[in-house]
Structure 1
Amino acid sequence: MSTPTHDLATAGVSIWLDDLSRHRIDSGNLQELIDTRDVTGVTTNPTIFQAAIGNPDDDSYAPALAALGASGADADAAIFALTTEDVQAACDIFRPVFDRSGGVDGRVSIEVSPDLAHDTEGTIAEAKRLWAKVDRRNALIKIPATKAGLPAITAVIGAGISVNVTLIFSLERYGEVIDAYLAGIRRARAGRIDLTTIHSVASFFVSRVDTEVDKRLTAIGTDTALALRGAAGIANARLAYELFAQRFADPEVRKLVAAGANVQRPLWASTGVKDPALPDTVYVTELVARWTVNTMPEKTLEATFDHARVSGDTITSGYAAAHAVFEHLTSVGVDFTDATQMLEDEGIAKFIDSWHDLQRTVATALEGARA
């Protein structure tokens, strides 16, 4: 009997879980989600690791923290050890998926420190350190799509490392991300690196766009403005897919693909619904197209499995309507460029806050272990 998650996968969408913890790994839950929910990958971020390691009801990290404390490790060294161990274990669980999909799926992402979001050279060094430590072909190193992150993406891809580009909000920045990826692929080719081994996804955030734009539409308050609430996030993502299709159909890019390069797949992130007025699977069912990834928090994954209605491609027939949404947003006075820059700045700040919370949590645990 078919399920909505199976239908979604059949429609060409890779389902990734936006969560990871040692308990999820050790309990067998991650394998269960692969077997029963068609999950083919995992994404992580500093907030996810803070929630996992800092969870007072989860003692699965206690033995490792005790050993690290006894060894004299500081908080940063302990975080590096704990998170890379989790990602290694998850990569091993997903290795059969990776093999079956020819390297397309079975991917597990780990992010460079958000403190490096505006440090190009620091990001490059950290990405290489994470890649070497995890030492799994099916890992992805997450790099934010900041201005400083763009040249880092090129350098890291050029070194043959697979990358998940995160925190993309605007079409303009997405175009720059594609440019950075392709520049990295050309650099890798010049260095005689096997292009087939390099994979990348571009994580385009969805629900956060609606949260910010809807706040602005509510402040404008006209009937025309209020009628646009809940429309920007999906329209923005659909136009991102249109750009993806256009750029990777370019003859010069097709030559790279013919030489073994992989397309950089669009990934829909921030797909948990924050507005109770919207259907709880709207950022799944309205963003279906081949060669996409949807990374879901578990609540959204379970809602999708339970009652989502998947009816094939819901993106490519919506380009005209998506362009119309943005024409209307401009006409009512929404400055979308300002909104997306604010979202990028807030996204980085939130991850930095989570990272610093994690540092404090781990430092306290290490002190307790040494007491």
Structure 2
Amino acid sequence: MSKLPNTITSIFTVMSKMAAEYNAINLSQGFPNFPIDEKLTAIVAQLANEDIHQYTPMAGYPPLLSKIASLVAYSYQRTVQAETEILVTTGATQGIFTSIQALVESEDEVIILDPSYDSYEAPILLCNAKPVRVALNDDYTPNWENIEAACSAKTKMIIINNPHNPTGKILNEADFEALETLFEKFPKIILLSDEVYEYITFEEKHISIHTRELLRNRAVVASSFGKTFHITGWKIGYLVAPEHLMKEIKKVHQFLVFSVNSLSQAAISDYLDIVSVDEIGSFYQQKRDYFRQLLSKSRFKLMPCEGTYFQVVSYEAISNENDVDFCKHLIIEHGVAAIPISNFYEKGKDLHLIRFCFAKDNATLEEAARRLYKI
């Protein structure tokens, strides 16, 4: 008997596999295809010859924990304790899984805002808890009345994703005020804030839970070095949470992975001394603007993109197919892979929208646009 009877192969795996089979340009899965910073590779090369290949302490490499505390202070003016409020994780996904396993109990309810990343639901189900899916508005703004209506005495956690995958939407000040009001009404709810794209925002600055004094003592914030530094294959992220929550999270973490790859932790620790996170947003904004320019005269309608490295487009003027079939035909007939947005909804809501990843070198974006322009 399966513990996850309704879980199927991830749409990201399906589309990436098809892209490889048909030699298509893969704009589906969210990973960069350009080289990482040479300064980082030089650090790795140097550290490879040093004594950094054994277990680190369970919570993380101590110098890296201190650097993360400094990064949070620099970025958000929040003071966190490196020893008790930070945990280095095997990617943000493991951090999210571990947080849910540690804090959610059988029969609890967890609110997920759709469209949502597919890694949220499984750990809830494995807790024998109930995921409660609440759809965002069609413009991807939160419907706070519906979210509040979904809350009850059984609600243990609300998961938010900001900046938002797959839509590129970011929450604004009014959203956080509404969230704070909601948390005043439900004082036992915990917030899990997935902020892996925190440094990839454009015209409007990302507002982090780190900056919200009314929320952060009841919140777990998940971050990703993989997303921030274009090293998704390293699978390294971190959690920040108040000590009373982090104690429980660490209990699960120690039996799940115990400690994270030592070389990657040491390398990122050294890299944080010489890199500026302030430049990341402008780097990806140039990518976004260039990709939007390339598609501006195509038949695709470009939706707003406020953050992340994803561009959602409507193909309504091109086809009446459902978005999954359209993406399959896009690979087979036109050689470009995308992700259908319906897979991010509980019931497969189909608005004829698909998602492209623009974290690619310019030559790849240009060739992809050339193919898409012919449709």
Q: Same fold (TM over 0.5)?
A: no
Greater fraction of residues in helix: 1
TM-score under structure 2 length normalisation: 0.35
TM-score under structure 1 length normalisation: 0.36
